[in-house]
Amino acid sequence: MHIAEGFLPATHAVGWTLAAAPFVVHGARQVVIEVRERPENTLLLGAAGAFTFVLSAVKLPSFTGSSSHPTGTGAGAVLFRPPVMALLGTIVLLFQALLLAHGGLTTLGANAFAMAVVGPWAGYGAYRLVRRLGGGLLPGVFAAMAAADLATYVTTAGQLALALPDAETGVAGALVKFLSVFALTQVPLAVGEGLLGVLLFRTLTANARPELERLGLLAAAPEPTR
């Protein structure tokens, strides 16, 4: 549910851009550090960005002529932490706006704040909570993917409500309407995205376990005894 070009008032567009900018700048620094200090993770870093691009470009029809979509940012947040996804997610949104007319340039800051900032942090928080409670990697990934999706959806609904308050019930009434409009498609999408994340990390565990161990997501396998 990227906000379309020109859909926000200029003051809102500028405000959300200013809110997202510090996170994106910090994310750029973290990406540079990651590539410089751990160049062996560069391929996986690019894959995380590509996964977000492909997944968030899948638009499904919603109601009143709108659409819903997965986000894919939870996976990158688990692998590389939320600051990295602030940059990767913003790059994804920029390319989608330019190449797919999905979102817009004037609304890039708002979309980045929802999908590249709030989503990854919510997803990573859910992941850490599940792991702290004794859950394994896969339950944590499911929680991260679903929470990142839902947090993005709630944030975008709030942005739209602030920009387009209801004539009678104000921002609160508009928020309820926007949440209701997208809930029937976005909630199942969040569950589906969580399951897709589990499949993704099962594949990574089977084929790229050393990388996951290096990132601290899995304990090192014990060496075979002789």
pLDDT, tens digit, for every residue of 65-122? 456 888 999 999 999 999 999 999 999 999 999 988 888 899 999 999 999 999 999 9
Question: For the residues 174-190, what does the mean pLDDT come to?
Answer: 88
Q: What is the pLDDT of residue 68?
A: 80
Q: Which of 111-115, 199-203, 210-214 has the lowest mean pLDDT?
A: 210-214
Token duo for residue 30: 């973290």
Residue 65 lies in a domain: yes
pTM of structure: 0.91
User: Does residue 164 lie in a domain region?
Assistant: yes
Whether residue 15 lies inside any domain: the answer is: yes
pLDDT at position 224, please?
Answer: 55
The predicted pLDDT at position 88 comes to 95
Which DSSP helix (H) or strand (E) runs through 163? helix 137-163
pLDDT at 56: 87
* Dist. CA 72–CA 74, nearest whole Å: 6
Query: How many separate domains does the chain show?
Result: 1
Tokens 């809930």 locate to: 183
Q: Is pLDDT at 167 greater than 90 in this prediction?
A: no
Residue 101 belongs to a domain: yes
Q: How far apart are CA 72 and CA 36, in angstroms?
A: 25
Question: Which residues share a beta bridge with 67?
Answer: 61
pLDDT of residue 151: 95
Report if residue 2 sits inside a domain: no
Q: What is the pLDDT of residue 61?
A: 67
Least confident range from 40-44, 82-86, 178-182: namely: 178-182
CATH number for position 75: 1.10.1760.20
| pLDDT > 70? residue 142 | yes
Asked if pLDDT for residue 226 goes beyond 60, the answer is: no
Confidence of residue 158 (pLDDT cuts 50, 70, 90): very high
pLDDT class for 184, splitting at 50, 70, 90?
A: confident
Give Dmax over CA atoms of the chain in angstroms: 76
Cβ(122)–Cβ(31) under 8 Å? no
Q: Whose structure tokens read 């809110």?
A: 19
Q: Round the average pLDDT of the chain to a whole number and report it.
A: 90
Where in the sequence is the domain holding 210, given as residue range(s)?
Answer: 10-214
5 found inside a domain:
no
Residue 165 pLDDT exceeds 70 = yes
Q: Which two tokens stand for residue 137?
A: 């990697």
3 located within any domain:
no
Report yes or no: 67 and 61 within 8 Å, Cβ to Cβ. yes
Q: Is residue 178 part of a domain?
A: yes
> Looking at the DSSP assignment, which residues form a beta bridge with residue 170?
166
More confident residue, 2 or 118: 118
Most confident of 14-18, 159-163, 211-215: 14-18
